[in-house]
Amino acid sequence: MSIAPDATGLNLPTQQRVSAILVTHNGARWLPEVVAALSSQERGPDYLLAVDTGSTDGSAELLQNSRIDLISAAHDCGFGAAVALAVAHLPPLPEVLSESGESHHRESEWLWLIHDDCAPAPDALAQLLAAVAERPNVGVAGPKILGWHDRNHLLEIGVTLAHNGARWTGLERNERDQGQHDGDGTIPVLAVSTAGALIRRDLFEEIGGFDQNLPLFRDDVDFGMRARMAGYAVLCVTAAKLFHAEAAATERRAIDVAGGAFHRPHLLDRRHAAFVLLANLPLWTLPWIVLRIFASSIIRALGYLLAKLPGYALDEIAAVALLFTRLDRLRIARRSRRKKRLLPARVIRPFLAPWSEQIKLGAMRVRDLLLRRIERVPDPVVGNISLSESNGTNDSDEGELLAPSATHFWRQAFTRPLFLATTALLLLSLIASRSRFGALAGGALALVGDSSGALLRGYGESWHALGVGSSRAGHPFSALLALFALVTGGNPSLFVAALFILAPTLALLAMYLFVRKSGVGQLIAVTTALLYGTSTILLTSVSVGYLSTVLLVIIAPLTALVFKPIFSREITTLSWRRTCASALALALLAALSFQVLVLAIFILAAHLWTFRKERDQFRQRAIQYLTIVASSFLSLAPWSLSLLTNPAYLFLDQGVPVALSAPISVLTGNFQPSDAVPGYVVSIALVVGVVALFAKRTFNEALVIIGSLALAALVSAVNIAAYGNSLTSALWPGGLLVIATLFSCIALARLSQGRRQWLQESPLGRAHFATVLIAVIAVYSVGANIFWWVAEADRVPVKTTNSSVLPAFIATATDNPDQPKTLILRSEVREQVQSFAYVILRDRDVRMSELASLPDEVPLLTKTISEITAGVGDAPASTLAQFGIRYLYLENGKRNNALARKIDGIGGLTRLSATADGILWQVSGSTTRLRFLPRSDENKSAAGDGEILELPSEYVGAEFDVPSAGTVQLAEVFNGRWRALHAGQVLLPQESEVGLTEFEIPEGGRVVLFHDGTTHRAGVALQVAALGLLVFFALPRGRRQRELSDEEVS
């Protein structure tokens, strides 16, 4: 069908001939508008030919009724094959005679490719021809592609590939067309979509058309690559516009092409993406490309699984598998390209999507999401230009309204309450942290460790080489800390240092986000957030070293957003997705402080009671609340399960025990840990809780506040022997104080809403006095807390330190697999009574993550220490030697001269040194970790008169030879999970008279000693499974493209 040419004013050469090729496949939904758009072109094509590939929806009849020449093809004919079929049916080019009398074709003929779901703008073809007329090296030109339904939605201005094969347009998601990419009207690109592409016919025939291995998807990118390597340019003409429905990509119709792989467009797209990279890029890059393809496929498959789209996940894996089952096609494709290539493959490298742009675009999307979540939605970004930016001047009133706001940015910033509060608090935090730049320790904070990997390895071990040995499960907090430390490159020390500096600011922002999400005004939100960021519990935890409490203060407001819908009166039905998200949030909080989980049980039970009159809903909620609590508890396995027999330890937050004041201190919220916090530092929680009791809208918050404080008083009254000795210490109620502080700030924000107007309209009464009381106490609390925090920063326990409890020369002497132990003895005075605390160390101090894994108190060792300090006992040194203790170190020896003289008088202890820091004794006898005692009847023949053999050891297990039958003694506290492999048999341990582990070896030979961690690994597997299921069900379910409406797609 011939269409009348040129009706435009553009200056086009007469030699240009355009043959439009329309390929259809069940496109009757869009064809009427497509045909109308072709007919209304200002410069119409010289010839129009349609190819129908087995349509069953009346597309062929529609084209015939439109008097368009039609060719029928098989239903599984791909797009490239259909175009090749049409080119073969085109009329020949007219020939002309040159001055020399030779016959040749006209200078150029162009193929204009049209999909059955794309409609070009009236001037599209004219603009394309005008652009290529002045550029003889252009082989392919394409239009700017916009959405079919939303015709300002920018889809493509050329296309390329990312390094993992993903289709890359370089555009923002849902970017609007504002002409921001138009430039001078043309953009050099790697490729353009086949929808509306204008291709020189001689180029098409020269490089063999579209690759038949790519019947659909990525054929456009492959063609552009081959055109580039053939020496031609590829342009996007931004003045030419085309509106595309992308029916195949958005699954608006079935995929019937040959090799369509079960009619799965996603699978076909991913397979062709990998094919294009492997067929066109240089040979030496293929190993790296293959690795990227495999890695990206696995990552994307995991992402689709998390989005509950297993079909797409299977497509990712199957695409790679199917591709590499037909390597012969890749070899043929590379050989074909090599024959027709004029330029090396490196010419296309500048057009591939750079890593920097991919990262930048991803970061911009994250930034917009976060800003949207907090408060201010930034101006939409189109490309790299904000809509509020302008390159020119505009004298109109509208131009003034849309003028750049950059010149007023700082003026606006300094008048925004959130900016002022955040900046001020950050500056104060930097001043208060003047002695906390570097690795921190002191107070309740022990050194945190060397790396995230070390923390995770320690968490996964079933036996811990700590003290006299321990099989206690590691606290989930250590794994959580390892994950948090990834923010600082896996350096926990750096993470903790940065956290203690930024904690007040982060807490302020977290609370601001929560309060603003609750519909509170900006000024009230900033005031509430400032109270929270300078709260007594936070500043105390930072100064004394309660690391888990600091993290809890920051995270609690964010997780409260997850719990909020559960208690909303507007939501009557609780979804299981919300249930799993709540369980995951509660598990996170409980990993920081198990006290929160206990409090949550009371809160959920009280809330469940409100549904008692609605039996169905009561039953449903009961099941869901039980799921939240149980799954949260299981998510803390194996630690939580291992402490079921000793539940008091569940309330023990991570940290070195320090002295606390009496439980009555809950009234001020200041337990004065380590006597480091003065009494004038107070919390507003109790006052707000009492006042909130008398307001209906904050009554529930008041109950939580008062209940939390009451439980905090009870918890602080409990004294337990925390870490391996007989001295007891009070439990730190940090988790409960955090919840009380959180709800007091929430209640204060709700009470403040509309308070000013209500007070002005009400007669003077108790509400006025209560408001004044809260205001005075709040101002005093913030002022007193900040004053102490900044002024006394040099005198708080937590500081930058490289000091060690274990003297350096002992650490050097004990740093070997034999792991000789050192007993550190410290004198303490409690309530005017002198007592002694001890801890057993190996080659270094105990790390923060190891505190929960320290062994239980050994009564025999405690008795031995009592005998040493009293200067009595029957050979206490021999008991120390049996436990593998080689050194005894008394801290502050000069202050404990009387005790030092008693120790000097004990046999078996030899003084090695005495310094201002302490006095060191060496224990005589065999203090090795592993020793072998031959049987008495074989002593003479095998080992010589009962001689004890010292055996080589590793940090946990060991492998050694024994000369005869006898007993292998392990200087570790008895644990039934130890095993010895000898002569193909597994030997079970026995408990010695002093409570150590030993094995009876029946005969000489090789012995392999190991700790069976099956039970521990099962607990960790249970934890991983519980967390994995919670994450899976908490994430929103993704939707396939076919499930999206046309409006959503657009």
Predicted pLDDT of residue 98: 52
Pair 284, 191 in one domain: yes
Q: Which amino acid type is present at position 973? A: V
Three-state SS for 78-107 is: CHHHHHHHHHHHCCCCCEEECCCCCEEECC
pLDDT of residue 406: 46
The band of 10, judged by pLDDT with boundaries at 50, 70 and 90, is: very low
- Is 908 within the bounds of a domain? yes
The residue behind tokens 């405690």 is 862
- Domain, as residue range, for 171: 16-97+104-353
DSSP assigned state of 940:
I
Q: Quick one: average pLDDT of 609-623?
A: 89
Q: Is 136's pLDDT higher than 50?
A: yes
User: Of the candidates 353, 378, 400, which is a domain's last residue?
Assistant: 353
Residues 908 and 829 in one domain: yes
pLDDT at 412: 59
Q: How far apart are CA 835 and CA 704, in angstroms?
A: 39
User: What whole-number distance in Å separates Cα of residue 546 and Cα of residue 541?
Assistant: 5
Asked if residue 498 belongs to a domain, the reply is no
For range 610-637, the mean pLDDT: 91
Q: How many domains does the chain have?
A: 4
Residues 237 and 222 in one domain: yes
Least confident of 70-79, 525-534, 555-564, 793-802: 793-802
From 325, 353, 381, the end of a domain falls on 353
300 to 294, 316, 1026: CA distances (angstroms) = 10, 7, 23
Mean pLDDT of 202-211: 91
From CA 1025, how far away is CA 633, in angstroms rounded?
13
**Could you tell me if 249 and 271 lie in one domain?**
yes
Residue 599 amino acid letter: L
Answer whether residue 261 shows pLDDT above 60.
no
Tokens standing for residue 295: 């890695």
Supply the mean pLDDT for the chain: 83
Q: In this structure, is residue 485 part of a structural domain?
A: no
- Position 381 scores a pLDDT of 39
* Same structural domain, 241 and 296: yes
Predicted confidence band at 338 (pLDDT cuts at 50, 70, 90)? confident
- Asked if residue 937 and residue 905 are part of one domain, the reply reads no
Residue 505 located in a structural domain: no
* pLDDT at 559 exceeding the cut of 90: yes
Residue 907 within a domain = yes
For residue 292, what pLDDT is reported?
86
Return the bridge partners of 720, or none.
729
Q: Are residues 279 and 225 in the same domain?
A: yes
DSSP 976-994: TTEEEEETTEEEPPEE-TT
Q: Is the pLDDT of residue 807 over 80?
A: no
CATH number of the domain at 236, please: 3.90.550.10
Who contacts 472 (Cβ-Cβ below 8 Å, separation ≥6)? 464, 642, 852, 853, 854, 855, 856
In this predicted structure, what is the pLDDT of residue 614? 87
Quick one: 895 and 936 in the same domain?
Answer: no
What whole-number distance in Å separates Cα of residue 195 and Cα of residue 248? 12
Same domain for 175 and 90: yes
**pLDDT, tens digit (0-9, with 9 covering 90-100), for 962-985:** 999 999 999 999 999 999 999 889
Helices and strands, number each (H, E), in the chain: 35, 34
Average pLDDT of the segment spanning 546-555: 95
Is position 443 within any domain?
no
Which pLDDT belongs to residue 375? 46
Residues 905 and 934 in one domain: no
Same domain for 825 and 972, yes or no, is no
Percent pLDDT > 90 in the chain is 37
Q: Do 822 and 963 have their domain in common?
A: no
Amino acid at 20: A
The answer to the question of residue 639 being in a domain is yes
- On whether residue 186 sits in a domain, the answer given is yes
Q: Which of 874, 896, 923 is the last residue of a domain?
A: 923
pLDDT of residue 313: 87
